[in-house]
Structure 1
Amino acid sequence: MHRAPLPHRVFLHGAGRRGTAAWPSQDPESGTFLGFPADSSIGSQADALAESARDREPILFAHSIGAVTAVRAVAGGLRVSGLVLVEPALYDVARGAAPIERHIAVVTEARSRATEDDLYGFWALFRPLMFGGPLDRESWPDERAVAEHWATANLPWGHGIRERSIAGVPTLVVTGGWNEEYEIIAGRLVDVGASHLVLPGFAHRPQDHPDFPAAVTAFEQSLTI
Structure 2
Amino acid sequence: MQELPAMRRVFIHGTGRSGQDAWPRSDGTNADFVSFEPGSTIPEQVATLTAAYSATRVLFHAHSLGAVPAVLAAASDRVDVAGLVLVEPALYDIARGEAPIERHIATVTEARAQAGIGDLQGFWAIFRPLMFDAPFAADRWNAERATAQRWAASNVPWGHAVRVHMMTGIPTLVVTGGWNDEYEIIARKLTRYGARHVVLDGAGHRPQDLPGFLPAAHAFMLRLSN
Scaled by the length of structure 1, the TM-score of the pair is 0.97
State whether residues 4 and 221 of structure 2, in contact with CA within 8 Å, keep that contact through their aligned partners in structure 1: no
Partner in structure 1 of residue 217 of structure 2: 216
Partner of 2:17: 17
1:180 aligned partner: 181
Divergent runs of 4+, >3 A: 2-6
Tell me the C-alpha RMSD between the 2 structures. 1.1
| Secondary structure in 2 matching 1:15 | coil
Equivalent runs, 1:27-106 vs 2, <5 Å: 27-77=27-77, 78-106=79-107
- Structure 1: state its 5+ residue gaps: none
SS where residue 156 of structure 1 aligns?
coil
Shift of 1:76: 1.6
Cα pair 2:207 2:213 within 8 Å, conserved: yes
2:144 is the alignment partner of 1:157? no
CA distance in 1, matches of 2:13, 2:144: 22
Residue 136 of structure 1 corresponds to which residue in structure 2? 137
Is 1:112 equivalent to 2:113 in the alignment?
A: yes
Deviations 1:178-202 (A, max 9, x none): 0000000001111111000000000
The alignment's TM-score, normalised by the length of structure 2, stands at 0.97
Give the whole-Å Cα distance in 2 for the aligned partners of 1:3 and 1:60: 19
List per-residue Cα deviations over 1:51-97 (Å, max 9, x = no partner): 11111120000000000010011122222000000000000000000
Q: Partners in 2 of 1:18 and 1:221 — Cα distance? A: 27
What is the deviation of 1:25?
A: 0.3
Q: Can you give the 5+ residue segments of structure 2 that lack an aligned partner in the other structure?
A: none
The alignment-based identity, stated in percent, is 53
